[in-house]
Structure 1
Amino acid sequence: MSTPVHRIAIIGAGPGGLTCARILQQHGIPVTVHDLDASRTARDQGGTLDLHLDTGQHALRLAGLWDAFTALSRPEGEQLRLVSRDSRIMFDAEPPRDGRGNPEIDRGQLRNLLLDSLIPGTVRWGHRLTHAEPLGAGTHRLHFADGSTADADLVVGADGAWSRVRRLLSDATPAYTGVTFVETGFDRADHRHPELASLTGNGTMLALDDNRGFVAQRNSGGHIRAYVGMRTHEDWHQRRGLDLNDAVAVREALLQEFSSWSGHLLGFIAATDTGYTNRPLYALPVPHTWPHTPGVTLLGDAAHLMSPFSGMGANLAMRDGADLATALIEHPTIDDAITAYEDTLLPRSSEAAEGAAEGIDSAFAPDSANQTLAHMTQNH
């Protein structure tokens, strides 16, 4: 990046945006990250991630954070278990013992690791982007909800599923996948919920059948985060006249939905310590592409939102961030860097999104138990 110093603005302090910022700063390139949250602790960051060798792990090594990551990661969390609807263990894959696996880390821990690696003041909290105004020659004026503005020579949309930056490039909007998760959680699970802890194991447990299922994940600190999944209408609760703030009513509705399932699994509904959070799953069209536009690009969910059944969302976001930073370091102009980055990004993300769409369709199908067992047996 030759003089003059370019103004790079990353919108969104998620794993992808922070990875990009970290690598740029390692090479002396100034960058500012704008995030709508009031602070790094403003909201829960979600569950656990398994970082893959050629995406998330690659990005952390490039960012010089591999040793710090390994100190926090949980290799044992890679255990994958499939359970039948009557709670029999059908498949149980232990983590690889050769150090070549995909170790787990809580999303919050990963975000803090990246945030702590940045120059203080890099992230401007409480900056919710309302719109980006093109000024010509690839520059944009960013308008924030607090009335402030900032001009940028490169705007990086790392602002997630409902990205405002994406509007500069594409008319695409996320569509409902047909599947909704209801999140529950269990604190000090080994002591307070030993049966659920035993069923979950050390990593991730899946119980899928007849368009429904449970996904339970070990998090750090003895916490288990679970998702009660259903192929259903996006407004399923409204059709039932259900108030999502009425925990008792939600519990009864879910128990009725899974009435033929094992009572051991129903504990993931009935025994929650954290209540119920409705999470309909959305995805962008496949493939999602856009015309090259000077001064703006996308990464992560803003570019390729897909179902969590790819296992690749955060991994791809981090690889996106690393690849964009590398392109900016290696190419003489921002425009050249964007072109090189998008030439790699778009085909890679399209392939992953196709796999994610197939994954959620097979996981929430009439014969999903057998389909999932066949897939796990083939790949482990």
Structure 2
Amino acid sequence: MRTPVTIIGAGLGGLTLARVLHVHGIPATVHEAEPSPTARSQGGMLDIHDDTGQPALRAAGLIDEFRGLVLEGHQATRVLGPDGTVLLDEPDDGTGGRPEVQRGELRQLLLDSLPAGTVRWGRKATGARALGDGRHEVTFADGGTVVTSLLVGADGAWSKVRPLLTDAVPEYVGTAFIETYLFDSDIRHPASAKAVGGGSMSAPVPGKGIQAHRESGGTLHTYVALTASQEWLAGIDFTDPAAAAARIAEEFDGWAPELTALITDGETAPVPRPLHALPNGHRWDRVPGVTLLGDAAHLMRPSGEGANLAMLDGAELGRAIAAHPDDTEAALTAYEQAMFPRSAEAADDADRIHEFCFGADTPHSLINLLTGHEQVH
């Protein structure tokens, strides 16, 4: 008996799980809050790692299609000083293990690999409750419900499935990112485009920094990092984009204009992203019929691993279910016993990477990390 799987959340992790289950002939339904695949921008560039995300795509049978999405040259890395001085310039020589793709294109690849009707759009989960015997009911904002004997929360930081397993909630880590975009940058913003280079650029000082990625079509996607209280962030009126950008730029007064222009010349309204995390090593006791993957299970500081881990979780959970077709509990136990230590190590690494990027010794510590002179673990 192959129990149908109910997945909450059509992010990369939930879709990887659905695809691996499909490869093994196991039916799954994915419930997603967004009304359609194109309802919102899917974020920027992702580097897909050769020890996490790429094995997940192999398990999904999509590694060749993935290679067709890779943006050549985008593994290039630069570190700049506040005055625009280039402190590190590493070109993409094609040997790196972290090829870059657009998140939206990768998500579409996964969606296209699933049978029609697998994803139910416009299904925003509002809560979940146990019914006994490993069965659970999920309630949706549209008034609908679904009852399942195998429930997977792939619904991100503020998961509605997580309370079935644990009382843990994400807490603010003291850092916020503010996102902006410049379009057609080589023509319209040539100084900033030159500063960013062909891949990613970081200009960090202790406690803050300006980071940017070159995306397809000459788009520069900027993440301004600030150590700040939530109260300070709330004091900025983000409904007035120009004023908000000017206020953020004040934190970088005296920096090179090609760097501050990444903030002040932004062609989209700046978006604040306060960073939250679950406790490192977050785990739960086995609860029949339900588990979590990705940020729902182990939300951590940004380190380049979040999407990769979510996809690996999805692939590993799918394979565990396929390996134990008649024993859901054995499958979930095997998956969690491998996932807990893997995610705990990644969360510790993420904290160390944050310290390399924004701690007292940056940018030297960041340069040492990027050149292999500092080891994360």
The more displaced of 223-232 and 247-256 is 247-256
Q: Out of 76, 97, 109, which is 1:101 matched to? A: 97
> Matched residue of 1:351: which SS?
helix
**In structure 1, how many angstroms separate the alpha carbons of the residues matched to 2:26 and 2:79?**
46
Alignment check: 8 A CA contact 2:4 2:26 kept: no
Alignment check: 8 A CA contact 2:213 2:222 kept: yes
The more displaced of 295-304 and 142-151 is 142-151
Alignment check: 8 A CA contact 1:183 1:226 kept: yes
- CA drift of 1:83 comes to 0.7
Residue equivalent to 2:227: 231
Whether 1:29 aligns to 2:22 is: no
Residue equivalent to 2:366: 372
Residue by residue over 1:107-151, the C-alpha shift from the partner in whole angstroms, topping out at 9 and shown as x without a partner, is 101100000100000000011111112111111111111111111
**In structure 1, how many angstroms separate the alpha carbons of the residues matched to 2:35 and 2:371?**
45
**In structure 2, how many angstroms separate the alpha carbons of the residues matched to 1:96 and 1:25?**
36
Residue by residue over 1:71-124, the C-alpha shift from the partner in whole angstroms, topping out at 9 and shown as x without a partner, is 1111311111111111111112222434x5211011101100000100000000
> Matched residue of 2:128: which SS?
strand
Residue equivalent to 1:247: 241
- CA drift of 1:379 comes to 5.1
Q: Which runs of 5+ in 2 are unaligned?
A: none
**In structure 2, how many angstroms separate the alpha carbons of the residues matched to 1:364 and 1:235?**
21
Whether 1:360 aligns to 2:360 is: no
**In structure 2, how many angstroms separate the alpha carbons of the residues matched to 1:96 and 1:50?**
15
Q: Out of 331, 344, 348, which is 2:342 matched to? A: 348
> Matched residue of 2:254: which SS?
coil
Whether 1:90 aligns to 2:87 is: yes
Q: How does 1:207-286 map to 2 (within 5 A)?
A: 207-239=203-235, 242-286=236-280
TM-score by length of 2: 0.96
> Matched residue of 1:226: which SS?
strand
- CA drift of 1:367 comes to 3.2
1:303 to 1:379, Cα distance in 2 relative to 1, 3 A: farther
**In structure 2, how many angstroms separate the alpha carbons of the residues matched to 1:86 and 1:183?**
21
Residue equivalent to 2:12: 15
Alignment check: 8 A CA contact 1:230 1:364 kept: no
Residue by residue over 1:226-281, the C-alpha shift from the partner in whole angstroms, topping out at 9 and shown as x without a partner, is 01111111221334xx3111112112212211103222211111111112111111
Residue by residue over 1:141-175, the C-alpha shift from the partner in whole angstroms, topping out at 9 and shown as x without a partner, is 11111111111111101000111111111111111
Alignment check: 8 A CA contact 2:280 2:300 kept: no
- CA drift of 1:26 comes to 1.2
Whether 1:315 aligns to 2:308 is: yes
- CA drift of 1:68 comes to 1.1
Q: Out of 137, 141, 158, which is 2:137 matched to? A: 141
Residue by residue over 1:269-326, the C-alpha shift from the partner in whole angstroms, topping out at 9 and shown as x without a partner, is 1111112111111111111011111100010000111111x21000000000000000
Alignment check: 8 A CA contact 1:79 1:95 kept: yes
> Matched residue of 2:51: which SS?
helix
Residue equivalent to 1:44: 41
Residue equivalent to 2:110: 114
Letter of the 2:172 partner, please give it: Y
Whether 1:188 aligns to 2:174 is: no
**In structure 1, how many angstroms separate the alpha carbons of the residues matched to 2:136 and 2:222?**
42
> Matched residue of 2:372: which SS?
helix
Residue equivalent to 2:70: 73
**In structure 2, how many angstroms separate the alpha carbons of the residues matched to 1:83 and 1:171?**
42
Letter of the 2:310 partner, please give it: A
Identity %: 47
Whether 1:174 aligns to 2:170 is: yes
Whether 1:124 aligns to 2:120 is: yes
Letter of the 2:101 partner, please give it: I
The more displaced of 369-378 and 126-135 is 369-378
The more displaced of 268-277 and 356-365 is 356-365
TM-score by length of 1: 0.95
> Matched residue of 1:40: which SS?
coil
The more displaced of 84-93 and 13-22 is 84-93
Alignment check: 8 A CA contact 1:183 1:227 kept: yes
Alignment check: 8 A CA contact 2:73 2:94 kept: no
Residue equivalent to 2:159: 163
**In structure 1, how many angstroms separate the alpha carbons of the residues matched to 2:338 and 2:233?**
41
The more displaced of 343-352 and 172-181 is 172-181
Letter of the 1:200 partner, please give it: V
Alignment check: 8 A CA contact 2:13 2:293 kept: yes
Residue by residue over 1:321-358, the C-alpha shift from the partner in whole angstroms, topping out at 9 and shown as x without a partner, is 00000000011311000000001000000000011112
Equivalent residue pairs, number: 373
Alignment check: 8 A CA contact 2:127 2:138 kept: yes
**In structure 1, how many angstroms separate the alpha carbons of the residues matched to 2:164 and 2:93?**
43
Q: Which runs of 5+ in 1 are unaligned?
A: none
